[in-house]
A and B are shown apart, each in its own frame.
Chain A
Amino acid sequence: MADAEVIQGSEKTELKQILNYRRFSTIWKKNRGQAVLLVIAGILLFLCFIPMILMIILSLKTTVQIYGNFWSMPSPIAWSNYAKAFNLLLGNMFNSTLLVLIAMGLTVFLSAMGGYVFSWLEFPGKKVLFIMILSLMMVPGILTLTPRYKLIVDLYLKDTWWALILPWVSGGQVFGILLCRTFMAELPASLFEAARIDGATEWQGFVKISVPLARPILTTVGIMQIIAFYNDFIWPLMVIDTNSKQVITVAIRVFQSVTGSNDIGSMIAGFVFTTLPLVVVFIFGSRYYIEGITSGAIKT
């Protein structure tokens, strides 16, 4: 800048321009990579969001508007679509929420308990029992689908909520126990020893030490299970017959085939309505979910 003070008049402005250009070009050079990255990522994100954007726009249009001009924005906005979807799906939404929460609570509880037993307690047969649980990771759901369905029928559980809760919890706890065991095994042993010396029972060690310290992994397990249970489609479709007992993911399919092409707006509003609970879960739990996966806790 010292040189610039000596130069006078028009040359000064010329120099300014050059300097500006230089500053710009250095900024450009420095950030060129980032800009390209952001643009590509932006395009990719836009493409990812097309179905969601489409869903929101269509859900606010009437059937006439949709058939009339597909590309037009909703005007006037057809809020009645949401009223209709809400009315018809509220009961099923309640079922889903209640069932998923109950099943999630039980799964997290059993996972924590199993994780604790296999990481901190010593007892005869521990290895065998653990291998029995581990081996279930190799058993795909499709193998057991037929006998499990028949079992539910034979136990007279078909068309009851037990048919959903029990198999969900049974399946969910396997992965949960393995995650919890890995996490809890890394807790400092001195804590448990100190508690034992102070006269705490094994159960107290679980309730007072393991569970509070394992809260992050328990939250991760809980969120993963909520997502898994809520998304389940085939199993509820098979075991629940009465629509008033049905979960939302199957009910929305029924709703879709009822409204069909006569009332596309309401149908899509139903899709948005079905998505809402997971949006709530995402707002509160995305951090745990993302950290749970990226921290490398999940590996084969």
Chain B
Amino acid sequence: MSLSKIAACISLVLLILAGVFLINIRTDLDLLKQYDFDTKEQNTSFAADLRTGLLLIGTGQNNLLAYNSDGEILWKYSAGGIFKEILISETSGEIYAGNEDRNIYVLDSENGKLLRTIPIRGKFYDMDLDRENGLLIVSSGISAVKHYISLIDREGNSLWEKNIEITSRGAAIFQEKIIYGTDRGELILIDLSGRELKKLKLDGQVMDLIINDEGEIACLTDRGSLYFTNLNLEQSGGVQVRGNAESFSVLWDQSKVFIGMKNGSLHILEKSGKILDTINFPLAISRVYVDEQSVTVTCRDGFLYTMDNSDINDIPKNKVKMGIAVSLAVLASIVLIITLFFIFPAITALFSRFFGTLYQHRTAYLMLLPIFVLLIFFHYYPVMIAIIRSFTDWSVHKDTINFNGLDNFRLMLDEGYFLAGLKNLGILSGMAFLKLFTMPLLAAKLVFHMRERFKGSFRLLFVLPMVVPGVVVAMVWQNIYDPNVGLLNNFLEILNLEQLQQVWLGNEKTAIWSIIFMGFPFVDAFAFLVYYGGLINISPELFEASNLDGANGWWNFWKIQIPLITPQIKMLIILVFVGIIQDFAPILILTGGGPGISTYVPGLELYYNVTRFGRFGYASALGLVMFIFIFAGTLLNLRIKTSSANEL
């Protein structure tokens, strides 16, 4: 006993030591200093003047704020749009600030006075300043096909501009060479006169690009690939991170790369591609800025996060130290727990009983483990999220998720798409039931009454159309409805019924009925088999008895067969109901909900909200409502089943 007490004491001391050690290691967030001022706005761009210690922050609230290194605000300049890029000209002490209001403002760094305004064509995207000759290259655009690269001299006169007909988010100038990247994933080199010299194809949209003093180019794409090339666009290296990259910077003399992501992660990498560290910020990173002294990061909040360049080399060392401390702590905790068991026998008994049970039935639990791991990830967790987030404004366009009560459900009633979809869903499900109760049952009855030698082959033939995939069925029917080469219009033509010819899927009146008519003559293989299975499982003696009583086939059908296949009918009703609410794929293929919203269904509305609009909260709410419909329908169906069973 005393031995275990000593062990417990020693491990406790070790644990405390490890804790102290851990606290003393500078963790990622300690490496990061946060300036103790808050712009209370969304920071979008940043630049620092090392000589004067001036910090310039552009914000989403259309302000350009200047702070000194103590965090005191010096001056503020407001414009009509977001400041996207700030450059400081060390030679002249001028600040160039590109703004989305179609202007570049040149300000005096001393007092923030406007020196001059350079108007540009279209929305500002990016610019770069050749500090030797004062030439400014600007990328700006009006639309995806009207985008201009312009060269502007020191006085603000445009030397030339060139419509490159594709958005460019990054442009740079160095020693009479201009480089810009496009949304088509090209890096293009032009000379000072605007003549294209060379082109390099990259893997995705170019998000940003920079050139260092030695003429090395670094270029980031939205796929998270960073390319290094020389001035002739010959690739010299590259790194890759996962996710959507937003901004990056390179610390050339230390060969370190910093990539800021839209999800708020800052990746610190070696130029060789090895990831040294990842720091997670609460919000999307808007800008990563590197100068000779420090790395500065702005997120979409009001703070500035900064890191001394000298500390960056400590990151790997810190990782090792951290590893030692953590393993020490883990070891000490294990020893402590074991000794505690010896000291307190009651805990030991409890634990041994729990683990004993687990161990005794280990086969069962181990076999269930993969099943439940999958279910937790892809079923239980999504169900939980779907229900909770139905009441939030969850969306791709926002970094935070806030509860908004019943807004999503109110939106369903207000927007009208859902209600229009519901009306169509009513028509579709009514017709689906009508189809279900007639044709497959008729086919099953026909095969059921056939002689033994025909049964097998006819049964097989009725099931055979099942081999055509649903997508192909939908597309073949799309072809059948084709106004020019479709079977339907051609058939009407040989019947001399040209006046009935239609653009079946393009007409608001006929589109929904064309979707309903798809699959004619509606002998669904599955329903057919279920009906057939129900019929053959009825004991033949029942028919013999009723035939002796003088019953005819019709009576047998209504009074014996239908009641006895009720379970199958109920099951099919549930399946068809669940299926018609959920399966919007044929509609997506045939009409996409149109023309207008004449074939819209709620499932389609959900799909569009997830994939096109990114309104996840609203889509979850739609899913929840559809789930409630399905649930209510199923319960109702089960209730009817029990009551009719009682009557029998």
> Using a CB–CB distance below 8 Å, which chain A residues touch chain B?
33-34, 37-38, 40-41, 44-45, 47-52, 54-55, 58, 66-67, 70-71, 110, 113-114, 116-117, 121-124, 126, 129, 132-133, 136, 138-151, 156, 166-167, 169-171, 173-174, 177, 201-203, 206, 227, 230-231, 233-234, 238, 249-250, 252-253, 256, 261, 264, 268, 271, 274-275, 278-279, 281-282, 286, 289-290, 293-296, 298-300
Known pairs A41-B450, A44-B523; A136 contacts B624 (CB<8 A): no
Which residues does chain A contribute within 8 Å of B536, judged by CB atoms?
294
* Nearest A-chain residue to B446, judged by Cβ: A41
Cβ-defined contact, A279 with B467, below 8 A = yes
> Using a CB–CB distance below 8 Å, which chain B residues touch chain A?
242-243, 357, 361, 363-365, 367-368, 370-372, 374-375, 377-383, 385-386, 389, 439, 442-443, 446-447, 449-451, 454, 458-473, 475-477, 479-480, 482, 484-485, 487, 490, 494, 520-521, 523, 526, 529-530, 532-534, 536-537, 567-568, 570-571, 574, 578, 581-582, 584-585, 588-589, 603, 606-607, 610-611, 616, 619-620, 623-624, 626-627, 630-631, 634, 638
Contact of A136 among B379, B610, B630 (CB under 8 A): B379
* Nearest A-chain residue to B372, judged by Cβ: A129
Bound CA span A295–B530, Å: 9
Cβ-defined contact, B485 with A261, below 8 A = yes
Cβ-defined contact, B374 with A124, below 8 A = no
Cβ-defined contact, A114 with B386, below 8 A = no
Known pairs A110-B370, A156-B243, A268-B479; A41 contacts B363 (CB<8 A): no
Contact of B443 among A41, A140, A264 (CB under 8 A): A41
Minimum distance in angstroms from B455 CB to a CB of chain A? 11
Cβ-defined contact, B462 with A34, below 8 A = no
Which residues does chain A contribute within 8 Å of B485, judged by CB atoms?
66-67, 70, 261, 264
Minimum distance in angstroms from A93 CB to a CB of chain B? 12
Main secondary structure of the interface of B (DSSP, over half): helix
Cβ-defined contact, A48 with B616, below 8 A = no
Minimum distance in angstroms from A75 CB to a CB of chain B? 18
Cβ-defined contact, A114 with B620, below 8 A = no
Which residues does chain B contribute within 8 Å of A122, judged by CB atoms?
361
Known pairs A140-B627, A146-B606; A117 contacts B243 (CB<8 A): no
Contact of B578 among A34, A140, A296 (CB under 8 A): A140
Bound CA span A148–B631, Å: 20
* Nearest B-chain residue to A112, judged by Cβ: B367
Which residues does chain B contribute within 8 Å of A234, judged by CB atoms?
584-585, 588, 607
Cβ-defined contact, A124 with B361, below 8 A = yes
Cβ-defined contact, B479 with A264, below 8 A = yes
Cβ-defined contact, A170 with B473, below 8 A = no
Minimum distance in angstroms from B363 CB to a CB of chain A? 4
Which residues does chain A contribute within 8 Å of B482, judged by CB atoms?
261
Cβ-defined contact, B570 with A300, below 8 A = yes
Known pairs A140-B627, A149-B610, A170-B379; A203 contacts B363 (CB<8 A): yes
Which residues does chain A contribute within 8 Å of B442, judged by CB atoms?
44
Cβ-defined contact, A171 with B378, below 8 A = yes
Known pairs A51-B480, A173-B371, A290-B529; A166 contacts B450 (CB<8 A): no
Select the residue from B464, B467, B619 with max chain A CB neighbours within 10 A.
Answer: B467
Contact of A58 among B470, B479, B494 (CB under 8 A): B479
Cβ-defined contact, B471 with A233, below 8 A = yes
Cβ-defined contact, A144 with B582, below 8 A = no
Q: Other than the known A123-B361, A142-B627, A230-B469, what 12 A-B pairs have Cβ atoms closer than 8 Å?
A: A50-B487, A70-B487, A136-B375, A140-B578, A140-B626, A142-B581, A252-B475, A282-B464, A282-B466, A290-B529, A293-B533, A299-B568
Bound CA span A286–B525, Å: 11
Minimum distance in angstroms from A255 CB to a CB of chain B? 10
* Nearest A-chain residue to B553, judged by Cβ: A33
Cβ-defined contact, B627 with A143, below 8 A = yes
Contact of B377 among A38, A70, A166 (CB under 8 A): A166
Which residues does chain B contribute within 8 Å of A144, judged by CB atoms?
378-379, 382-383, 386, 623
Select the residue from B479, B631, B634 with max chain A CB neighbours within 10 A.
Answer: B479
Cβ-defined contact, B378 with A148, below 8 A = yes
* Nearest A-chain residue to B572, judged by Cβ: A300
* Nearest B-chain residue to A276, judged by Cβ: B467
Which residues does chain B contribute within 8 Å of A51, judged by CB atoms?
465, 468, 473, 476-477, 480
Known pairs A38-B450, A296-B533; A143 contacts B465 (CB<8 A): no
Bound CA span A203–B170, Å: 61
Which residues does chain B contribute within 8 Å of A116, judged by CB atoms?
367
Cβ-defined contact, B471 with A252, below 8 A = yes
Cβ-defined contact, A54 with B532, below 8 A = no
* Nearest A-chain residue to B365, judged by Cβ: A123
Minimum distance in angstroms from A162 CB to a CB of chain B? 11
Bound CA span A142–B616, Å: 13
Bound CA span A171–B623, Å: 17
Bound CA span A244–B571, Å: 40
* Nearest B-chain residue to A43, judged by Cβ: B521
Which residues does chain A contribute within 8 Å of B589, judged by CB atoms?
233, 253
Cβ-defined contact, A201 with B585, below 8 A = no
Cβ-defined contact, A151 with B382, below 8 A = yes
Minimum distance in angstroms from B148 CB to a CB of chain A? 30
Bound CA span A140–B462, Å: 29
Which residues does chain B contribute within 8 Å of A49, judged by CB atoms?
465
Which residues does chain B contribute within 8 Å of A274, judged by CB atoms?
469, 471-472
Bound CA span A261–B479, Å: 10
Contact of A55 among B380, B447, B476 (CB under 8 A): B476
Cβ-defined contact, A114 with B368, below 8 A = yes
Which residues does chain B contribute within 8 Å of A149, judged by CB atoms?
610
Cβ-defined contact, A117 with B368, below 8 A = yes
Contact of A275 among B467, B534, B623, B631 (CB under 8 A): B467
28 contacts between A and B (CB under 8 A): A37-B449, A41-B450, A45-B461, A48-B462, A48-B521, A50-B487, A67-B484, A67-B485, A122-B361, A132-B375, A138-B634, A141-B582, A142-B581, A143-B624, A146-B389, A151-B385, A170-B379, A233-B585, A238-B610, A252-B475, A253-B471, A264-B485, A282-B464, A290-B460, A294-B532, A296-B537, A299-B567, A300-B571
